[in-house]
């Protein structure tokens, strides 16, 4: 099994729908992150969490919310999806030391 | 001006060539510098990690950080077709809230 698992891998949804992207990890890391990737813009941080009771907004949190259900699980929600939220979404984990981030394989989300 | 600038390419080289990938940044307080490699339909994976200034070598890969110029580089020697991927630079103040470049797409032709 992958260290960081994201579900679903692909999702097409309609404007205005609520959608949840899920992330689980077996790394045992405390820190978890949600990024979106857009062509030409790179990876941008949406939310991050240092433990179950700690949630922080990132660079582009508007229109998104998160839930840290357990050390191993961190979900991202779009309450009312809009087309400009069409992107590739990545979950990542870190132990805060010098080993960088471990990324999942991503969720490709299309909002029509 | 973006906080981290990276030429998106694409960059195409013949097998065996030396590849040079670069990023510039505006925040002089960045201390942690990384390079990630991302294959198509995969998440980024850490390739190189450097703290503060200097060089770091790992096999065919060398990372350089020049904080005075706010410029980082990744060199790939004896490039292989398997090196074909998008390379992302990343940097941060405190090993958290990493800021990424847009990525450079590299193709190594046999």
Q: Do B95 and A106 touch (CB under 8 A)?
A: no
End-to-end C-alpha distance for chain A, whole angstroms: 32
Contacts of B103 in chain A (CB under 8 A): 42
Average per-residue pLDDT for chain B = 93
Residue A23, pLDDT > 80, answer: yes
Which band of pLDDT confidence, cut at 50, 70 and 90, is reported for residue A1? low
pLDDT on residue A39:
84
How does pLDDT run across A99-109, given as a tens digit for each residue? 789 999 999 99
Residues of chain B that touch chain A, judged by Cβ-Cβ distance less than 8 Å: 4, 6, 8, 32, 34, 36, 41-46, 49, 51, 88, 90, 95-98, 100-103
Which of A90, A96, A98 lies nearest to residue B96, judging by beta carbons? A96
CA–CA gap between residue A91 and residue B43 (Å, rounded): 9
CB B62 within 8 A of CB B14: no
How does pLDDT run across B49-76, given as a tens digit for each residue? 988 888 999 999 999 999 999 999 999 9
Please report, for residues A21, A29, A74, A102, B51, the alpha-carbon distance to residue A57 in angstroms, rounded to integers and kept in the order given.
Answer: 17, 19, 14, 20, 25
User: In the predicted model, what is the mean pLDDT of residues B14-37?
Assistant: 95
Residue B36, pLDDT > 80, answer: yes
Share of chain B above pLDDT 70, in %: 98
User: In the predicted model, what is the mean pLDDT of residues A34-40?
Assistant: 92
Tell me how many helices (H) and strands (E) chain B has.
Answer: 0, 11
Q: How many residues does chain B have?
A: 110
User: In the predicted model, what is the mean pLDDT of residues A89-108?
Assistant: 90
The three-state secondary structure class of A85 is helix
Buried b (16+ CB within 10 A) or exposed e, B47-76: bbbbeeeeeeeeeebbbbbebeebebbbbb
* Residue whose C-alpha is closest to residue B38's, from A92, A103, A9: A103
Report which of residues A59 and A85 the model is more confident about: A85
The whole-angstrom distance between A95's CA and the closest CA on chain B is 10
pLDDT on residue A22:
98
């Amino acid at each position: 099994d992958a260290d960081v698992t994201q579900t679903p891998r692909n999702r097409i949804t309609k404007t205005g729908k609520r959608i949840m992207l899920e992330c689980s990890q077996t790394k045992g890391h405390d820190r978890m992150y949600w990024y979106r990737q857009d062509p030409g813009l790179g990876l941008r941080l949406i939310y991050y969490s240092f433990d179950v009771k700690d949630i922080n907004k990132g660079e582009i949190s508007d229109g998104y919310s998160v839930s840290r259900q357990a050390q191993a699980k961190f979900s991202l929600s779009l309450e009312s999806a809009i087309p400009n939220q069409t992107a590739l979404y990545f979950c990542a984990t870190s132990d805060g030391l010098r080993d960088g981030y471990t990324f999942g394989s991503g969720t490709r989300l299309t909002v029509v | 001006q973006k906080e981290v600038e990276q030429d998106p390419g694409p960059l195409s080289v013949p097998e065996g060539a030396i590849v040079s990938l670069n990023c510039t940044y505006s925040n002089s307080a960045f201390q942690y510098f990384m390079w990630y490699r991302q294959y198509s339909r995969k998440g980024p994976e850490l390739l190189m990690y450097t703290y503060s200034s200097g060089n770091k070598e790992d096999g065919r890969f060398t990372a350089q950080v020049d904080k005075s110029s706010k410029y980082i580089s990744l060199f790939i020697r004896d490039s292989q077709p398997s090196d074909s991927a998008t390379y992302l630079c990343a940097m941060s103040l405190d090993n958290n809230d990493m800021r990424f470049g847009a990525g450079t797409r590299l193709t190594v032709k046999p």
